[in-house]
A and B are shown apart, each in its own frame.
Chain A
Amino acid sequence: MTGTVVRATGLTKRYGSFTAVDAVDFSLEENRIYGLLGRNGAGKTTIMQLLTGQLFASAGRLEVFGREPAEHADVLRRMCFIAESQRYPEDFTPAHVFKSAPWFFENWDAAFAEQLVSDFRLPMKRRIKKLSRGQLSAVGVIVGLASRAPLTFFDEPYLGLDAVARHIFYDRLLEDYVAHPRTVVLSTHLIDEVANLLEHVILIDQGRILLDRDADEVRGSATTIAGPRNTVEAFVADRPVIGREGLGGLASVTIDGRLDQRDRIQAAELGLELAPVSLQQLIVHLTGTDLAGSTEQENAA
């Protein structure tokens, strides 16, 4: 039933001595919503540009809809990627973008686009250059939604969008995804708000994949244990530690892995505090410390 839309093996992109994407392996399954997460400059945009044939890989294999994407019209026409820093033709307005979009996206829904324009209150006749950051994001979001491309990328889609606009985006995305299932890749460094929309999470840091798991598995897969330093250290002794903070005789240690009922009771008896780790916090732990990197390999082993 489910097909593999993207398969990358050893995918690498180098710029001179800088490696933006470092031999990553991953695949994307049909009709799922993926979160491509990571800090700014982690390599998210580079991966999306490779997938959409905008960049050429330095090494590795990449198949999108069964073949190398670059210069293959039958693959490219099934994708939509409006980059966060997308360049538009000189003097373009949103009206020009939406007028030309149906020539490129065969599933384009003009009525839906129109509804989104009024939802986001996007000025159609204002030059793209003069739009605010939020309005510019809205242009990309509208194209991404109304194009109904089988593989749609949203690159940092809510930069500059206010809370109301962000919720419009989530609601419309979910509604339309249910009615017209497709593969969606959401790239972002702001995670908590979208965490519940994602079915699968791929976490990138410095061009490498740190985490590639179902969102449900990730949720609650880490716990922070706080209490007297010695007790905490004894409790976490043989567990994979991904974050460590301390204050005097107190310590707060984050471990990767679920605690079962027995662990919880033991922790309570020892007088330790347990706190859930949100996806955002987990990612901060995984990408923010020098402990990162080894975690996923340990888990995979």
Chain B
Amino acid sequence: MTAVATAPVVRTEARSRAHEIWRIVRLHAVNPSIFFGIPWMIIGAAWAISLIITLIIRAGSGGDVTTEDLDNMRYSWAVLSPQWYLVVVGVQAIGFTFSFALGFGTTRRDFWVGTSVMFLLVSIMYAAAIATLVQIEIATDGWGLGAHMFDALWYGQNWFLDFYTSFALQLLVLFIGASVTTVYMRWRMRGMMILLFTAIALLLAAITGVTLTGSWPSLFAWFGTIGIAGVFSVVLGLAVVSAIVGYFVIRRATPR
């Protein structure tokens, strides 16, 4: 009555891996407000606030504004404002979209690879946008007001460095959010607790180690020698490690 279950699967339509991965990218982008709309709103809002603050500073100093007053704005973190939100996006990509994609019949492997492609594309886009906005801000002399929103912190040396640093940071932010969530999806609360305490223990051990061996000066000196590009290469390295760890963790993760 029954045929042998080990008979080969009847293939309906050949599907390429590229297709299976690309549909995950499309799934992340089907509601564009998550990856694009809200981050741009945050950037826009931060930009508007920066301009208003610039106007207030100008008004407060009675038109007698020095560039030093405005240069203090270089230390506002407005340019990084979307990053906090994008950590949450990384968390949601795994916490919600993962369960949904499994229901739609994807593999964990393709889901993670597709999500990584999405993160890569999003990071490239924001890095290019921010690096370009830095240049526009410099070219327009702070939007005609001497404001510093994008040309702030370490930004403003050249387009490529701005692009590289933004890209590395963006990728780290997304992958940290996503890979930590894979730990939750696989081991639930217990896994999160172990991860948290392990991270704290490692951090304390590192600080203690550096302090006891008196290596703080040489550590700072090392950061000095590798420069901003070097520091962000470390950031990029951490992002890649998160991506690889996340891949192995999600392979056995189960949806809520």
Do B92 and A90 have beta carbons less than 8 Å apart? yes
Do B105 and A92 have beta carbons less than 8 Å apart? no
Instruction: List which A73-115 residues lie within 8 A (CB) of chain B.
Output: 73-83, 86-93, 96, 99-101, 103-107
Note all chain B residues with C-beta closer than 8 A to A80.
Answer: 103-105
Docked complex Cα distance between A107 and B12 (Å): 10
Do A78 and B105 have beta carbons less than 8 Å apart? yes
B105 interface neighbour in A3, A87, A90, A104, Cβ under 8 Å: A104
In the complex formed, the residue of B with least CB distance to A3 is B3
Do B105 and A79 have beta carbons less than 8 Å apart? yes
Looking at the assembled complex, report how far the CB atom of B23 sits from the nearest CB atom of chain A, in whole angstroms: 4
Note all chain A residues with C-beta closer than 8 A to B254.
Answer: 49, 54-56
Do B5 and A89 have beta carbons less than 8 Å apart? no
Note all chain A residues with C-beta closer than 8 A to B6.
Answer: 63, 66-67
Looking at the assembled complex, report how far the CB atom of A13 sits from the nearest CB atom of chain B, in whole angstroms: 10
Q: Does B83 contact A (CB under 8 A)?
A: no
Q: Does A72 contact B (CB under 8 A)?
A: yes
Docked complex Cα distance between A96 and B6 (Å): 37
Asked, given contacts A2-B2, A77-B15, A91-B31, whether A101 binds B100 with beta carbons under 8 Å apart, the answer is no
Q: Does A58 contact B (CB under 8 A)?
A: no
B96 interface neighbour in A54, A90, A106, Cβ under 8 Å: A90
In the complex formed, the residue of B with least CB distance to A71 is B107
Do A76 and B105 have beta carbons less than 8 Å apart? yes
Do B103 and A66 have beta carbons less than 8 Å apart? no
Do A91 and B5 have beta carbons less than 8 Å apart? no
Instruction: List which A37-87 residues lie within 8 A (CB) of chain B.
Output: 49, 52-56, 63, 65-67, 71-83, 86-87
Q: Does A176 contact B (CB under 8 A)?
A: no
Do B92 and A81 have beta carbons less than 8 Å apart? no
Looking at the assembled complex, report how far the CB atom of B148 sits from the nearest CB atom of chain A, in whole angstroms: 33
Do A99 and B30 have beta carbons less than 8 Å apart? yes
Note all chain B residues with C-beta closer than 8 A to A106.
Answer: 12-13, 15
Note all chain B residues with C-beta closer than 8 A to A82.
Answer: 103
Looking at the assembled complex, report how far the CB atom of B69 sits from the nearest CB atom of chain A, in whole angstroms: 41
Asked, given contacts A29-B2, A106-B12, whether A73 binds B100 with beta carbons under 8 Å apart, the answer is no
Asked, given contacts A77-B15, A103-B27, A106-B12, whether A87 binds B1 with beta carbons under 8 Å apart, the answer is no
Looking at the assembled complex, report how far the CB atom of B174 sits from the nearest CB atom of chain A, in whole angstroms: 15
Do B1 and A88 have beta carbons less than 8 Å apart? no
Docked complex Cα distance between A75 and B27 (Å): 20
Note all chain B residues with C-beta closer than 8 A to A104.
Answer: 23, 104-106
Do A2 and B3 have beta carbons less than 8 Å apart? yes
Note all chain A residues with C-beta closer than 8 A to B31.
Answer: 89-93, 96
Looking at the assembled complex, report how far the CB atom of A225 sits from the nearest CB atom of chain B, in whole angstroms: 35
Q: How many residues of A contact B (CB 8 A)?
A: 48
| Binary interface encoding of chain B residues 128-155 relative to chain A, with 1 for a CB under 8 A from any of its CBs, else 0 | 0000000000000000000000000000
Looking at the assembled complex, report how far the CB atom of A164 sits from the nearest CB atom of chain B, in whole angstroms: 27
Q: Does A142 contact B (CB under 8 A)?
A: no
Note all chain A residues with C-beta closer than 8 A to B9.
Answer: 65-67, 74-75, 78
In the complex formed, the residue of A with least CB distance to B251 is A71
Docked complex Cα distance between A80 and B26 (Å): 19
Known: A87-B255, A89-B100. 13 other contacts (CB 8 A): A3-B2, A4-B2, A6-B5, A52-B103, A54-B255, A66-B9, A71-B108, A76-B105, A81-B105, A89-B28, A100-B27, A106-B12, A149-B105
Can you list 26 A-B contacts with CB-CB less than 8 angstroms, sorted by A residue number?
Answer: A2-B1, A2-B3, A7-B5, A27-B5, A54-B102, A54-B103, A54-B255, A55-B254, A66-B5, A66-B8, A66-B9, A71-B107, A71-B109, A71-B251, A73-B15, A73-B20, A76-B106, A82-B103, A88-B100, A89-B31, A90-B31, A100-B27, A101-B104, A104-B105, A105-B105, A106-B15
B residues adjacent to A (C-beta < 8 A) = 1-9, 11-13, 15, 20, 23, 26-28, 30-31, 33-34, 92, 95-97, 99-100, 102-110, 251-252, 254-256
Instruction: Name the 10 nearest CB pairs between A and B, nearest first.
Output: A104-B104, A103-B23, A76-B105, A87-B99, A89-B97, A7-B5, A3-B3, A4-B5, A4-B2, A90-B92
